[in-house]
Amino acid sequence: MSIQHALHCRTKIVATLGPASSDYETIRDLAVAGADVFRFNFSHGSHEDHAARHAIVRRVEAELGEPIGILADMQGPKLRVGKFKDGKVTLQSGAPFRFDLHDEPGDETRVQLPHPEIIRVARPGSRLLMDDGKLAVVVEKIGPDWLETRIEIGGVLSNHKGVNVPDVALPIPALTVKDRRDLEFALSLGVDYVALSFVQRPEDVSEARALVGDRANLLVKLEKPQAMENLEAILELTDAVMVARGDLGVELPPENVPLAQKRIIRLARKLGKPVVVATQMLESMISAPTPTRAEASDVATAVFDGADAVMLSAESAAGQYPREAVRIMNRIIWRIEQDPEWQASMSVARLAPEDFVADAIAGAAQQVADTLKASAIVAYTHRGATAFRIARERPLCPVLGITPTHEAARRMALVWGVRAFLGGQGKSVTSVESMVDVAQDVVAKAGVGSSGGSIVIAAGLPFGVAGSTNLLRVAKIP
């Protein structure tokens, strides 16, 4: 039995697992409803929790017969205020307020800020945002272990609320001690993608790459304005990227977030890196069985922009309607992808192939498929790179990736328009003729096209060698 999405879409769905979606039945239902990748949020839950979910996902994958990707999302450095004598205080706009390193409980005049890095780099005029930007202060004076600020936006501030510092690059690593423990555990499970939180500079990506190696693909979450300043250098070093609009929306003015989203998607597509749009996509479905019309439009915008995937966070992890959230997201994607204007926009935004053989083959595969109105493009790919490059062209026919490894198949679950298949269904590929036979079998298994239709095949000679894509073949469906 294979996964039968209620509506099979090119744009993928990432669903976060959590308390509302940790049992076998729910996870299976989410996969059948359209989830292609499951996100494990290491900000919450124990290693035992994540191991149990991992085992269930792999059990569901085996039963349903198509690869499912797993994304392990590292927490990253969390900046928080200390605690208050009464648990919370009300800060008045215009009043002075001090942050310091002392661990005594705070009051209406001061609180601990247990992050000397912030005090070290802050400057007069720097802004500190608290509780997801609901409160704001401006730094006026700086001491060796304190900041004197003026409250710009007041309100209730309670124990251990988060702090954002949008104006300066903080000298803190993207991977904390906790992250390093979580990373090794996630890699020992065999996750497919590792998400790196609060990246500021290319060096953060290089540090993570040295730890991860080729055991998983690396996905960078863009949440800091400093990352936007180093965007191209960061994207060059990663395998995939996420527009993490939660913290990015706190640190950037709201009117800049849509522009940042479009810029990230545009550059990621240019570089052939899968891009995920995340945070608050169907937020109201945490407690309601249907989304708002604005949320439906938000998902549609990401699809029109050409994102590889859209993500559900609390909607599927902790909400009351995880199944409904995946189903409605799938329906929105499907409806947009059937629209002639969307199809025209994919063609207009298509990028010219880059100056190397594999990319030329990928570009030619799309052009030939479009000219012949082919039923599918079949990509033989050892590690997934060929399918990634073909997906960059946004062909309107399905892309079927054939790979010998579970790892590559699962990594392709995040990639726009690609369905992955293992091996050759019992047949070995040793010649062009056997390559065509296996491709025809995979097309039949995928259920695309009909007898007499065309398929376009991209592969490499010699067979089975990574990075050798150099062959394009057109065949007929028997």
Strand partners, 70: 38
- Catalytic pick among 12, 39, 350, 411: 39
- Tell me which residue of 393, 365, 392 sits closest to 454, measured CA to CA: 365
Q: How much is the CA Rg of the chain, to the nearest whole Å?
A: 24
Kindly give, in sequence order, each residue whose CB lies less than 8 Å from that of residue 236, ignoring residues fewer than 6 positions away: 202, 271
3-class secondary structure, 20? coil
Q: Is 221 a catalytic residue?
A: yes
Q: What is d(CA 424, CA 410) in angstroms, rounded to the nearest whole number?
A: 16
462 prior amide bond cis, ω within 30 = yes
Kindly give, in sequence order, each residue whose CB lies less than 8 Å from that of residue 319, ignoring residues fewer than 6 positions away: 20, 285, 286, 287, 325
Q: Is 241 in contact with 308 (CB distance < 8 Å)? A: no
Q: At 331, which amino acid appears?
A: R
Q: Is 39 a catalytic residue?
A: yes
Q: Cα(first)–Cα(last) distance of the chain, in Å?
A: 23
- Catalytic pick among 80, 215, 263, 266: 80
Q: What is d(CA 371, CA 352) in angstroms, rounded to the nearest whole number?
A: 17
Q: Is 181 a catalytic residue?
A: no
CB under 8 A, 24+ apart: contacts of 344-349: 345/304, 345/306, 346/306, 346/394, 346/396, 347/394, 347/396, 349/269, 349/306, 349/394
Q: What is d(CA 412, CA 417) in angstroms, rounded to the nearest whole number?
A: 9
- Catalytic pick among 10, 12, 110, 221: 221
- Catalytic pick among 16, 149, 279, 386: 279
Q: Is 279 a catalytic residue?
A: yes
Kindly give, in sequence order, each residue whose CB lies less than 8 Å from that of residue 113, ignoring residues fewer than 6 positions away: 81, 82, 99, 100, 101, 119, 147, 163
Q: What is d(CA 139, CA 210) in angstroms, rounded to the nearest whole number?
A: 37
Active site residues: 39, 80, 221, 279
